[in-house]
Amino acid sequence: MNSIVHMPKAIPINSPTVPVEMTGLTQPASKTEPSRWFLFLGRHRESTLIAVLLALIAGTALASPHFLNLQNLRDVLLNVAIISMLTAGMTVVMLMRHIDLSISSTVGITAYAVGSLFVAIPGLPVPVAVLAGVLIGCAAGCINGALVTFGRVPSLVATLSTLYIFRGIDYAWVHGGQINATSLPDSFALLANGDVLGVPVLVLIALAVLTVIGYYLKHYRGGREFYAIGSNPEAANLAGIRVSRRVFKGFVLSGALAGLAGVLWLARFGTVDASTAKGIELQVVAAAVVGSVAITGGVGNVWGATLGALLLGVINLSLVVLKVSPFWQLAIQGALIVLAIATDTLLSRAIARWTMKKRDHGEA
Amino acid sequence: MTTPATPPRLELRHASKRFGEVRALIDASLTLRRGEVHALLGENGAGKSTLVKILAGVHQPDGGELLVDGQPCRFARPSAAIAAGIAVIYQEPTLFPDLSIAENIYMGRQPLDRIGRIRYDVMEQAVEEMLVSLGVQLKAAQLVRGLSIADQQVVEIAKALSLNANVLIMDEPTAALSKPEVERLFAIAERLRDAGVAILFITHRLEEVFRLTQRITIMRDGAAVHFAATSEMDHDSIVAKMVGRDLATYYPKVDVVPGEVALSVNKLTRRGVFKNISFDVRRGEIVALAGLVGAGRSEVARAIFGIDPVDGGEVLVQGKRLQLGKPALAVNAGLALVPEDRRQQGLALDLPIARNASLTVLARLGRHGLISANTERQLAAHWGGKLKLKAHTMDVAAGTLSGGNQQKVVLGKWLATNPHVLIIDEPTRGIDVGAKAEVYQTLTDLVQAGMAVLMISSELPEVLGMADRVLVMCEGRITADIPRSEANEERIMAAALGQAEQPLRRAA
Amino acid sequence: MNKSKHFSWEAMLCVVLIASLALGRGLSPDFLGASNFSNLLADFTEIALMALPMTLIIVAAEIDLSVASVMGMSSALMGVLWHMGLPMPAVIVTCLVAGTLAGLFNGVVIVKFALPSLAVTIGTMALFRGCAYLLLGDQAIADFPGNYTLFGISNVGDSFIPQPFVIVIIAAILFTVLLQATPFGRSLYAIGSNQTAAHFSGINVARTKLRLFVLSGFMSALAGVIYTLRFSSARGDNGEGFELSVVAAVLFGGVSIFGGKGSLVGVLLSLVIIGVLKNALTLSDVSSEVLTIVTGLLLLSSVLVPNLLARWRESRQRRALAAA
């Protein structure tokens, strides 16, 4: 790993022609800089999000003392578990400066397909069912990935199309029917409703999935490539990254997670028809951008996104507890998306300006 | 420098490359040896960038031979060039702004532990050492976003070195650097050369060629036309090889008696960029704004035209005060700006010539507010004819034209507004010799007709050949106002470097 | 070169149109009847009204995904205001103003903060739809006055042209003139092709974009009003998913998703094709949900087909070069 092979290290490079001011180029910030809190916000977005989350919980608890109980906690976690897995997939796609709007249709069609499998083969082992769901999701992801990489279709157009195409296929297939909980084996329902030491299995599954993806994104080359591609696609290509292949894999991963989410959706709710999970893509995009995953790629991580999902989940529950019309949900989501994008962009611009000013200051 | 027995590190023989109708390279050859800094010279459009991209594996040549250490070779993709030890430092570094310096350097080949996890500690330590040995104060864990261009180039160089690259191709690395930054870069380059690295150095500044390089390859119109040791060449012989014709015929300067003041700039200030800029430009006068890249010249032009904000000062056009910050008002007041970057700022490349030509006069062109395609075409044809634009019809996309013809479209689109003042930023950047002469002729015709011209240029011969008066900027201030009769390269360069009138170390 | 490419896309649309007419004739004998034709025309009123400003927006290299939500919001608002007892003209004007304000909101957020319109309008798509639900919940309001709903369902005189379609024709003419022959329209191509160059040419890019989104809001609200009258039903979920059809129609009409290219003639052709296909399939008992497959496929193919053709041409060129 030793670095500079062709360069004797002893020679000092500071030739006399380099003036002293040059060293000021990259000096650390002076402590008295007035806009330091900007930088703090920018560097500690997760902490900021946790603070908002706690404030929201405290506020709701003050308004309605019943709010803080185990059942509510369980409900929130169960609700967020599935969304957070989808958000992790969306994070991966958004890191690459793409978007996957088709996930809700993939969830719907997978849930129905796996339900139909149980109807057709009543004794189907649960792991096989899960695997089948993931594979269906992978297939959907492959279609999106192929359209974006091989077909060079912008991901917005590609996945907006498949959002409707997959849903249309779902409708054509289901034809007004539905799957009921009675068709599903009890062991399958345990996947969502069972407990291990009081913690719902579904939550444990989600935690495991999030941990694996989060760890992969941080600690493995493949994970870093997602960041690199979104940060600068051209540089990624020059660095020898197989960009198309990586983008394709990202979409397959997003599809696979949507497939898994579909299976778990079926396990959790039991009843599934053609309109299952319709519209949740907006909730997932909202969770990701609120969790400071940049829509322009290269910035964000699974934990931030999960916090975003959690925040949305708590908001939704608070609405129920405070007896506010559930029709607020969608409007709040929308407002949060706009707000999150605006603050994120303005914040990062302010930081960029600030760094630049610091640099120029050092130079002068 | 090298023994004849060892084959050159890198050799390109008779390479050709075409993009659709455009023949970017016709016959390009280059020999690069270990331990030399080799200058690749040529006007913009001569094919240097294409050659670089072939060496980098970005493009594949249609014909010719590439030899690495004497062995025939073909780079199918950038990674193949990297594997052969060739690294390219582009003028605008291609880095990942959202990742740390260390990750930028090791992307795709991070050190791993047994189960494939990235060893961040090892990686950052290696980069830390590398940065120290390059003599720069950067931290491995620092994000690239916010680094200056110069620092980003250092990161690129560190990346190349970590790749064990011993061929370093620098594509106009100094174009966007300040003087001290250039010196730092040269110091690094010299150290690498002494350590046996072969460096291909592309630049437009001849003084840098004499300062740094040992051998020269000169390109013209897609072909390599001259190979020589740097010591055998001088300034004029290089320029003659580059342009392939005599310099004197270039500048059709005529003497015009200046009229009243058309553009008056008073104490224009933009914090951190330029300060207290004051000057006048009279009708019939060409005033050049000279100085180094980064001195703030283009920024002044953009501020006058209302594109960049200002913090203070005023601009008068024909004696009337101009409200700053709105390009539309500047156009109405009779200002025109032919910008520095033609492709980014001057043209909508996908649109036809006619559509480009009408952009500045859309509101005036219509009858009852409606525009017909025919009026547009007539307008474009009128100015195209005057400027000797070479195009089959006015309906072809502007992007398909050569640099010179593109510049004529931009000029035409502004002359169509019938301006009092023409601000022209780098009038001949990236255009061929014939078109240059035509642009100069046009400028001459315009001042004879009473227009006031403010010309920003980095090319001293152009400044000396065309300007009635030379204003020199250095670090955001005007440091000299030199009349034509007293202008020479030494005085301008001294003022551009911020030195009080003293002789300049001249390499040529 | 550019021109001939456009021409061929529009020629291709003409061929597709004839093919889909033939398909419709084959699927159902009623297809070419006057009453069906008037259904067909009426059915694409709203999509067309929203596709017109969307064309301008996409030419300027932006996008507005919130159109269908603005439409739903104006529909819901219409129901609420009518129930509150406002006179019908006042109701309609208020709805149009509300839609225009929604467009203004999009425009201000996008222009003032320089944010990507895609991201912002995904947000406002949810926001405005949420507002529609907030206004009406899951109720439906159907008791609009007869003389207004009659406008929505009757034809001009004895012809097969539905009255709302007249509005489409007028709007189409106005937008065509606006895009092809006014300084405003011309500047859209410049902005879509190279925003910086447009700015350097003295074009007020920010103001132009703001106007585009305001225009889009107004037209979406108009679509909402007409939709409500045609079906005599104000609901929060009116027009859900229409943004797909609108974007599909525009892109299928040959407008480049990257901006700077396209014409309204192509978009109008593609609107007719989509209308014909939908109508033909509906006649053969295909449900509206399944129909979205067709819209989705059209949207995909409008980008995919040219891309694949370009790929094929490239590889052929490369092979020819290698052979030479």
* A318/A329 Cα distance (integer angstroms): 10
Interface probe for B, chosen from C176, C195, C196, C200 (most Cβ of B below 10 Å), is C200
Note whether B195 contacts A8, CB cutoff 8 Å: yes
Interface list for B 251-290 with A (CB within 8 A): 272
Q: Taking a C-beta distance cutoff of 8 angstroms, is the pair C40, C166 a contact?
A: no
Sign of CA dihedral A267, A271, A273, A279: negative
Residue with tokens 């030399």: B36
Q: Write out the DSSP string of C251-289.
A: HHTT--TTSS---HHHHHHHHHHHHHHHHHHHHTT--HH
Burial of B154 (0-12, 13-18, 19+ CB in 10 A): buried
Q: Does A296 touch chain B (CB under 8 A)?
A: no
Closest CA to B466 of B291, B340, B287: B287
Given A8, A230, A360, which is nearest B272 (Cβ)? A360
Search chain B and give the residue with CA nearest C178: B370
Token pair of A317 as six digits: 């529950």
- Residues of chain A with Cβ-Cβ distance to B166 below 8 Å are 6
Distance of residue B296 Cα from the nearest chain A Cα, in angstroms: 13
Q: Does B117 touch chain A (CB under 8 A)?
A: yes
Say if residue B44's pLDDT is above 80: no
* C26/B22 Cα distance (integer angstroms): 50
Q: Does B17 touch chain C (CB under 8 A)?
A: no
Residue with tokens 């605008």: B92
Q: Does A237 touch chain B (CB under 8 A)?
A: yes
Say if residue A206's pLDDT is above 50: yes
The model's confidence at residue C211, banded by pLDDT at 50, 70 and 90, is very high
Say if residue C7's pLDDT is above 70: no
State mean pLDDT over B116-136. Answer: 90
Q: Does B347 touch chain C (CB under 8 A)?
A: yes
Say if residue B507's pLDDT is above 60: no
- Residues of chain B with Cβ-Cβ distance to A13 below 8 Å are 133-135, 184, 187-188, 191
Summarised one tens digit per residue, pLDDT across range B2-30 is 445 688 889 999 999 887 666 788 899 99
Q: First and final CA of chain C: distance in angstroms?
A: 25
pLDDT of residue C3: 42
What long-range pairs does B107-111 form, CB within 8 A, spacing at least 24? B107/A224, B107/A225, B107/A228, B107/A236, B107/A239, B107/A241, B108/A221, B108/A225, B108/A228, B108/A239, B108/A240, B108/A241, B110/A221, B110/A224, B111/A1
The model's confidence at residue C22, banded by pLDDT at 50, 70 and 90, is confident
Q: Taking a C-beta distance cutoff of 8 angstroms, is the pair B98, B145 a contact?
A: yes
Distance of residue B265 Cα from the nearest chain A Cα, in angstroms: 25
Between C2 and C65, the higher pLDDT residue: C65
Search chain C and give the residue with CA nearest B335: C202
3-class secondary structure for chain A?
CCCCCCCCCCCCCCCCCCCHHHHHHHCCCCCCCCCHHHHHHHHCHHHHHHHHHHHHHHHHHHHCHHHCCHHHHHHHHHHHHHHHHHHHHHHHHHHCCCCCCCHHHHHHHHHHHHHHHHHHCCCCCHHHHHHHHHHHHHHHHHHHHHHHHCCCCCHHHHHHHHHHHHHHHHHHHHCCCCECHHHCCHHHHHHHHCEECCEEHHHHHHHHHHHHHHHHHHHCHHHHHHHHHHHCHHHHHHCCCCHHHHHHHHHHHHHHHHHHHHHHHHHHHCCECCCCCCCHHHHHHHHHHHCCCCCCCCCCCHHHHHHHHHHHHHHHHHHHHCCCCCCHHHHHHHHHHHHHHHHHHHHHHHHHHHHHHHHHHHHC
Say if residue B313's pLDDT is above 80: yes
Given A11, A235, A237, which is nearest B95 (Cβ)? A235
SS3 content of chain C, % helix, strand, coil (to 5): 75, 0, 20
State mean pLDDT over C226-236. Answer: 92
- Domain extents in chain B: 10-95+144-244, 247-334+419-508, 347-417
- Domain extents in chain A: 38-352
Summarised one tens digit per residue, pLDDT across range B386-409 is 888 888 788 888 888 878 889 999
- Residues of chain C with Cβ-Cβ distance to B396 below 8 Å are 1-2
Token pair of C304 as six digits: 């995919």
* B386/B397 Cα distance (integer angstroms): 20
Note whether B359 contacts C1, CB cutoff 8 Å: no
pLDDT of residue B4: 53
Note whether A220 contacts B135, CB cutoff 8 Å: no
Note whether A13 contacts B187, CB cutoff 8 Å: yes
Summarised one tens digit per residue, pLDDT across range B332-371 is 999 999 998 888 899 998 899 998 998 898 888 877 778 8
The model's confidence at residue B250, banded by pLDDT at 50, 70 and 90, is low
Given A5, A25, A227, which is nearest B151 (Cβ)? A25
* C45/C56 Cα distance (integer angstroms): 18
pLDDT of residue B503: 42
Search chain A and give the residue with CA nearest B97: A231
Q: Rg for chain C (alpha carbons), in Å?
A: 20
The model's confidence at residue C277, banded by pLDDT at 50, 70 and 90, is confident
Residue range B10-95+144-244, CATH number: 3.40.50.300
CATH class in words for B247-334+419-508: alpha beta
Interface list for C 213-272 with A (CB within 8 A): 236, 241, 244, 247-248, 251, 257
Given A329, A335, A341, which is nearest C115 (Cβ)? A341
**What is the distance, to the nearest Å, from the Cα of residue A349 to the centroid of all Cα atoms in its chain?**
23
Say if residue B223's pLDDT is above 50: yes
Closest CA to B11 of B52, B50, B69: B69
Token pair of C250 as six digits: 């525009």
Note whether A333 contacts C128, CB cutoff 8 Å: no
- DSSP code for B508: -
Over the range C59-98, which residues count as b (16 or more CB within 10 Å of their CB) and which as e?
A: bbbbbbbbbbbbbbbbbbbbbbbbeeeeeeeebbebbbeb
Say if residue B275's pLDDT is above 70: yes
Q: Taking a C-beta distance cutoff of 8 angstroms, is the pair A113, A317 a contact?
A: no
- Residues of chain A with Cβ-Cβ distance to C107 below 8 Å are none
| Least confident piece of the model among B129-133, C48-52, C93-97 | B129-133
Distance of residue A89 Cα from the nearest chain B Cα, in angstroms: 20
Catalogue all structural domains in chain C, each as residue range(s) with its CATH number. Answer: 2-323 (1.10.3470)
| Least confident piece of the model among A10-24, A50-64, B464-478, C301-315 | A10-24
- Parallel/antiparallel/unpaired status of strands B286-291 and B469-474: parallel
Interface probe for A, chosen from B34, B77, B99 (most Cβ of A below 10 Å), is B99
- DSSP code for B392: S
Search chain C and give the residue with CA nearest A155: C300
| Least confident piece of the model among A106-110, A152-156, A319-323, B62-66 | A319-323
pLDDT of residue A15: 33
Token pair of B112 as six digits: 């791993």
Q: Taking a C-beta distance cutoff of 8 angstroms, is the pair A164, A157 a contact?
A: no
Interface list for B 149-208 with A (CB within 8 A): 150-151, 161-162, 164, 166, 178, 180-181, 183-184, 186-188, 191-192, 195-197
pLDDT of residue C95: 96
| Least confident piece of the model among A303-317, A319-333, B14-28 | B14-28
pLDDT of residue A112: 94
Between A303 and B291, the higher pLDDT residue: A303
Note whether B151 contacts A235, CB cutoff 8 Å: no
Between B130 and A141, the higher pLDDT residue: A141
Distance of residue B364 Cα from the nearest chain C Cα, in angstroms: 9
Q: Is C122 helix (H, G, I), strand (E, B) or coil?
A: helix
State mean pLDDT over C73-100. Answer: 95
* B290/B462 Cα distance (integer angstroms): 10
Say if residue A5's pLDDT is above 60: no
* B164/A4 Cα distance (integer angstroms): 7
Interface probe for B, chosen from C4, C194, C205, C315 (most Cβ of B below 10 Å), is C194
Which of A266-280, B167-181, B246-260, C170-184 is the most confident on average?
A: C170-184
- Residues of chain B with Cβ-Cβ distance to A228 below 8 Å are 96, 99, 103, 107-108
pLDDT of residue A363: 42
The model's confidence at residue A37, banded by pLDDT at 50, 70 and 90, is low
- Main-chain dihedrals φ then ψ at residue C239, nearest 5 degrees: 75, 15
Distance of residue A343 Cα from the nearest chain C Cα, in angstroms: 10
State mean pLDDT over A273-281. Answer: 89
Percentage of chain A surpassing pLDDT 70? 85
Between C152 and A136, the higher pLDDT residue: A136
* B195/B84 Cα distance (integer angstroms): 18
Percentage of chain B surpassing pLDDT 90? 36
* A353/A361 Cα distance (integer angstroms): 12
- Residues of chain B with Cβ-Cβ distance to A360 below 8 Å are 272
Distance of residue B342 Cα from the nearest chain C Cα, in angstroms: 8
Token pair of C9 as six digits: 């896309």
Rounded mean pLDDT of chain A? Answer: 83
Distance of residue C174 Cα from the nearest chain A Cα, in angstroms: 28
Rounded mean pLDDT of chain B? Answer: 86
- Residues of chain B with Cβ-Cβ distance to A9 below 8 Å are 133
- Residues of chain C with Cβ-Cβ distance to A341 below 8 Å are 115-116, 119-120, 123
Q: Is B215 helix (H, G, I), strand (E, B) or coil?
A: strand
Q: Taking a C-beta distance cutoff of 8 angstroms, is the pair C220, C71 a contact?
A: yes
Strand order in the sheet with B320-321: B274-282, B261-270, B312-317, B320-321
CATH topology of domain A38-352: ABC transporter involved in vitamin B12 uptake, BtuC (1.10.3470)
Say if residue A255's pLDDT is above 50: yes
Note whether A161 contacts C122, CB cutoff 8 Å: no
Q: Same CATH topology for B10-95+144-244 and B247-334+419-508?
A: yes
Token pair of B504 as six digits: 């300049």
